[in-house]
Structure 1
Amino acid sequence: MSKRQDERAKELRERLNNELQRMSLDMCVKCTICETSCPVAPVTPLFSGPKFVGPQAERFRDGESVDHSVDYCSSCGTCSVVCPQGVHVAELNSLARAVMKAEQGVPVRDQLITQTVLMGKAMTPVAPIANAVLDNKLARIAMEKIVGVHRDAPMPTARTQSLHSWLKKRPARTKPATRGSVVYFHGCAGGYFEVDAAKKAIEVLEHIGYDVIVPEQGCCGLAEQSNGLFEKASASVRKLDEQLRSAGTDLPIVSTAGSCTGMLKHEAHEILGIHDPELLDVGTRIREISEFLMELYEADELPTDFRPINMRLPYHAPCQVKSQGMGTPAYDLLRLIPGLEVIDSNVTCCGIAGTYGLKKEKYEIAQAVGKPLFDMIKDTNEGLAACDTETCRWQIEKSSGVTTVHPIVLIHQAYGLGDGE
């Protein structure tokens, strides 16, 4: 281990010890609720469960190297959500993994797959070629052998136009804004890969009366944080914080990137340990778009002149959205559309967990975790499924064969906003 690695490992170990004192390991009473709720432990012997690799193991580490089994935690956050004692199990496990990566080094693969903005910028100008390569079996086998990304793992689809390119070429809006302004946070995927959903989100917000400000914005650092790259993740989220605040420090921030919203609300503070007032401010002002629209509905301020959509729709609430403690607003929102029968998956996790399910050594685990969800969607869909987060949609679509969209796509349709397309 290099001198720099040693210093970083000691720094992270000190942070972990501080967090352990703050959250108190003694709050864990070994009730095993987190163990029985964990989606990973039942499908692989490589992960003995959040309690065993987290609070229980930490009592015996005492400065010793972190056991590699903690790397098989998917960071879904379920253990922290269900803990009746309020122990932040997932957060502690993420810190322990960062210590391990600092001591042992971060694989090149894990560094490459976190560079989502770079991938988007590189793939957009050559989208047809990029998509052809990612669909090529021999290329994917080579990618698995050289980089370590599983040959069958879901990949994003490159688009020929980024969201900001569309915004620059878009005609000026003529309909007046009657509700003031909101800042729109699209995330990396919304900027380059899920551009259609991002466009529809903007059009829905404008339709109900908002002026939508879309500042230049980079990555939130979530993928870097989940792969143990804490320094890079901290730099990314701080830069994003500045970009979002540049659009106005007193405006609501609305996002279609559910996991990234959680990074700004929670992970940046609880895992990266950033307690800057500016970042805390952004975390209190940001809302996932379904959460934002349901708050309007509950205040009797959301237009509900929805057109019927007569179909049965399986919906999956991602674990990284549920861990934010806001319930399932998309499920409630979709049920406002006449004729739409929304079926909650009631499944904990799809298995992808950001970049977890892309890795060749974790791909089969991710598929086993997600199998109940894939089966449910195959059994209940009528050609479409819905889910709030990007990588989860890619995982569901690839593994079930069912087209999967962000809930805002259906709200856009119910408002009749796609009639002119």
Structure 2
Amino acid sequence: MSDKKMLEEEERAIYTGDHCLSCTSCMSNCPVMAATKEYRGPKLVAPAHGRMHFAEDDTELSLDFCSNCKTCDRACPSGVAVSTLNMLQRGEYYRHHPHTQRDDMLAHAEKTAKLVTSLPLGTTFANLGMTIGKAIGMFSSMGIAGEREMPKYASSTFAQEFKKINQPKSDKKVVFYPGCSINYNEPHIGVAFVKVMNKNGYEVLLDEKFNCCGSPLVVTGYLDEAHEHAENNTERILYWKQQGIPVVVCCTSCSLMLRKEYEELFGEAAMKEAGENVYDAFEFLEMLDAEGKFNTNFNAVNERFMYHVPCHLKTQGIGTPAVSIFRHLPGAKVELADAGCCGISGNYGFKKEKYEISMKIGEKLFTRIKAAAPDDVICDCPTCRMQIAHGTPKKPVHPIEVLAKAYK
């Protein structure tokens, strides 16, 4: 046992399996179960093993089907952390079984991105290599869905772009946590965030000691490595909390990991304390709005938006703050897609054997978007946007991009 202060037993996610009533709410709401008969269901994996506190060596054979979308957690009437128990069991399994090369690659996107961006013309050659690799079936042979487009690297990282921004100084500050996707693939989203915060009187800080939130590591069974990331990021968040400066995030999977999943997975009191200093970007703006401090000096937008709410935003229990903020945009109309999980669930839908499942889960959303034919689709999650772009003619954007463009 570590000398770190742990949460009390009744607060630990690992013990919530004892509260399972076997009511099947998790199973009736699970999008993976609806898409394939091979998955025996969340409660047969997590609570069954969690109730024994992982005392047994056997592993439920359908453990790999859980996408960690957390729909089961929200459906459970007894507060069982079903998906977290699944991830703990998956981590335990891979402590004794080898990973595939495919899983190693999907789990370590940050490590690969750091290498690529450190080399001269590294991003150019990496993007070219991915295009060629897809064309000749290399990814498919590795176990990655050949139908997928791998996310392209930006020519410069957000950290590099951030240094070029001339921000007005302010005594009001936030620390921006960009995550891997914004830093290496979509830095323009981070730039848009900085603009929005500047327009609201805040100076944005960047802490380059942060690393990947660990979500890709958790879902592929690298739990011990994810724990190292959690400890580092927790230390950084608490450092900024001591300065009275909140940490704000634009990716809903990152924000869920930082503010909630660390304490659920690892049970350390410091992680729960750190989570209290982490905010979703639109949650933070909604708080400013509630205090009458949100800048509403916008140009007319006059567009119809369809908003897909990411599963990992729903799990945070903060509603749909982007919709609330968009009400201030002149002429903007926002409609919720309300079509369930998109199906991709981070790197889940990139796995060759899970591709058809992910697309079947997303069918309802794809049909909804095509039928509604909005001007734009907005979504806070990078992989959800990839899935929507893959399954519909639309190319979704992050709502912070729309907000940044709308400011006068």
Q: How does 1:50-61 map to 2 (within 5 A)?
A: 50-56=42-48
Range 405-414 or range 92-101, more displaced: 92-101
1:390 correspondence with 2:385? no
Matched, 1:133 2:129: yes
Q: 1:286 to 1:59 in 2, by over 3 A?
A: closer
Separation (CA, whole Å) in 2 of partners of 1:24 and 1:55: 4
SS at match of 1:361: helix
Deviation at 1:378, TM superposition (A): 2.0
Q: CA deviation at 1:122?
A: 3.5
- 1:310 is matched with 302
Aligned twin of 1:95: 88
Secondary structure in 2 matching 1:113: helix
Q: 1:340-379 residue pairs with structure 2 within 5 A?
A: 340-379=332-371
Asked whether the equivalents of residues 106 and 347 of structure 2 are also in contact (C-alpha less than 8 Å), the reply is yes
CA RMSD of aligned residues (A): 2.3
Residue in structure 2 matching 1:214, options 202, 206, 219: 206
User: Structure 2 CA distance, aligned partners of 1:358 and 1:66?
Assistant: 24
1:308 is displaced (CA, Å) by: 1.9
Shift of 1:240: 2.5
Matches of 1:220 and 1:231, distance apart in 2: 13
Match of 1:262 in 2: 256
Aligned to 1:297: 289
2:157, 2:364 → 1: CA distance?
A: 34
Q: Secondary structure at the match of 2:21?
A: coil
Candidates 234, 242, 260, aligned match of 2:235: 242
Report the Cα offset of residue 129 of structure 1: 3.0
Q: Distance in 2 between matches of 1:192 and 1:338?
A: 33
The separation in 1 between residues aligned to 2:65 and 2:47, in whole angstroms, is: 16
Amino acid at match of 2:162: L
**1:176 Cα deviation after fit:** 4.2
Contact 1:66 1:99 in 2 (8 A): no
| Structure-1 residue corresponding to 2:399 | 407
Task: Give TM-score scaled by structure 1 length.
Answer: 0.87
- Tell me which of 79, 85, 88 is aligned to 1:86: 79
Aligned residues: 393
Q: Tell me what 2:3 maps to.
A: none
The whole-number CA distance in structure 2 between the counterparts of 1:208 and 1:343 is 26
State the secondary structure of the residue aligned to 1:353: coil
Q: Distance in 2 between matches of 1:284 and 1:322?
A: 17
Do the aligned partners of residues 207 and 64 (structure 1) sit closer, same or farther apart at CA in structure 2, a change above 3 Å counting?
A: same
Post-superposition Cα deviations, 1:159-216, rounded to whole Å, max 9, x if no partner, equal: 111111112233x33x342x51111111111111110011000111011101111110
Which secondary structure does the structure 2 equivalent of 1:104 belong to?
A: coil
Structure 1 residue 164 and structure 2 residue 159: aligned? yes
> Which residue number in structure 2 is paired with residue 67 of structure 1?
60
Distance 1:248 1:326, change over 3 A: closer
Which residue of 2 is the match for residue 9 of structure 1?
Answer: none
Q: Secondary structure at the match of 1:300?
A: coil
- Cα deviation for residue 62 of structure 1 reads 5.8
Query: Is 1:121 paired with 2:117?
Result: no
Rounded Cα–Cα distance in structure 2 between residues aligned with 1:133 and 1:214: 31
Task: State whether residues 13 and 264 of structure 2, in contact with CA within 8 Å, keep that contact through their aligned partners in structure 1.
Answer: no
**2:23 corresponds to:** 31
Which SS does the other structure have where 1:254 is aligned?
A: strand
Does the 8 A contact of 1:141 with 1:151 survive in 2?
Answer: yes
Corresponding position of 2:217 = 224
Q: Which amino acid aligns with 2:362?
A: G
- Give the C-alpha shift of residue 131 in structure 1: 2.4
Q: Which amino acid aligns with 2:139?
A: M
Separation in structure 2 between the aligned mates of residue 381 and residue 371 of structure 1, nearest angstrom: 15
Number of the residue aligned with 2:327: 335
